[in-house]
Amino acid sequence: MRVTLLGAGHIGQTIARLLATSGDYQLTVVDRQSEPLALLDGLPLATRVADTADDAVLLALLRGQDAVINALPYYLATRVATQAREAGCHYFDLTEDVAATRAIKALAEGANTAFMPQCGLAPGFIGIVAHHLAQSFQELHELKMRVGALPAFPTNALKYNLTWSVDGLINEYCHPCEAIRDGRPTEVLALEGLEHFSLDGTEYEAFNTSGGLGTLCETWAGRVRTLDYKSVRYPGHRALMKLLLEELLLKHDQGTLKDIMRRAIPSTMQDVVLVFVTASGMRGGALVQEVFARKIFAERSPAHPTSAIQITTAAGICAAVDLFREGRLPQRGFVRQEQVPLPEFLANRFGSAYQQSRQVESIG
């Protein structure tokens, strides 16, 4: 399968290594800079330096390809998807942006190729899990998703290190969040809905963030009383982000905030990803609850240390592409994450990264 991967950044590096070494993909990796591409030397793949924000360049790159994997910033998603449709190649991405996903869904109408956005962790794997749990109930009452990509050893006041895209992080803190309340789709404010809980003796907080639900609100509208998604952080993080975004008005000057965070907050490869989904409702005449919980840790291989967010995000999109290549997913039109069967995802050679992680045994 001929695949072009756009973006050789933090996540793109891991996607490239997984697909290139699998033996089933003829991979070309494209980036605007040569430095990240040089890190892929020695792998069985091709590289190209190109302006990935130029429509004509994108179209030329995608012609003759079977599929494109978009690992560029979220604000380029619609542009790449538009050129993918023009080039006649299948489209996969990692976007958490709600507006971009709606635009891509419109592009997919009547297309002869598949469009599958939101293939990462959240949205992505979290939606696959939630949909799987939800289907086991005769009457679904609540479906709650909590995900955190956290530093293993926080030391600053924010109790946070940069583990993924700063653009994506700020985007999810600044836009309205989809949810279902009393069976009806609605929007709630980012950074609101604060709650506290503990797992394995560690205290966490969770609050509304945008984009994590994918298309679940549309899929489950009218069939569940309450559905929501929240990001997990260490206690105190949300209060400081509200100070920066709302009281200091940096919500309206996101460029400055991103510069500050890149300059002042170190990145880390020593992270942990927490996935926590609960579903409750009626089954066999009784009110029951099902829980899916995982903690995925970074791999500290001397040759290629890989962060937990790299592992989980790359596993999500590589498994989606792999299942598509095998004919296990729809081959045209808009493909939702909840169309991926959880057992098939976990049995996949890439998706098994979640299966091999340590399961959380206790929930407090």
Nearest CA to 212 out of 130, 145, 279, 122 is that of: 122
pLDDT for 141-166, tens place per residue?
999 999 999 999 999 999 999 887 88
User: Considering the entire predicted model, what is its pTM?
Assistant: 0.93
Per-residue confidence at 363, pLDDT binned at 50, 70, 90?
very low
Average confidence (pLDDT) over 260-283: 94
**Whole-Å CA distances, 198 to 113, 206, 345, 360:** 44, 11, 28, 11
Structure confidence at residue 364 (pLDDT): 31
Please report the pLDDT score of residue 356 as a whole number: 56
DSSP β-bridge partners for residue 226: 142, 181
Residue 218 in tokens: 């549309």
Residue 90 has pLDDT above 80, yes or no: yes
pLDDT of res. 195: 96
Instruction: Say how far apart CA 194 and CA 235 lie, in whole Å.
Output: 10
Torsion, Cα 104 254 256 168, to 10 degrees, reads: -50
pLDDT on residue 199: 82
What does DSSP say about strands 358-359 and 139-151: parallel, antiparallel, or unpaired? Answer: unpaired
- Structure confidence by residue, pLDDT tens digits, 192-225: 999 998 888 899 999 999 999 999 999 999 999 9
Is 97 in contact with 70 (CB distance < 8 Å)?
no
Q: Is the pLDDT of residue 15 over 90?
A: yes
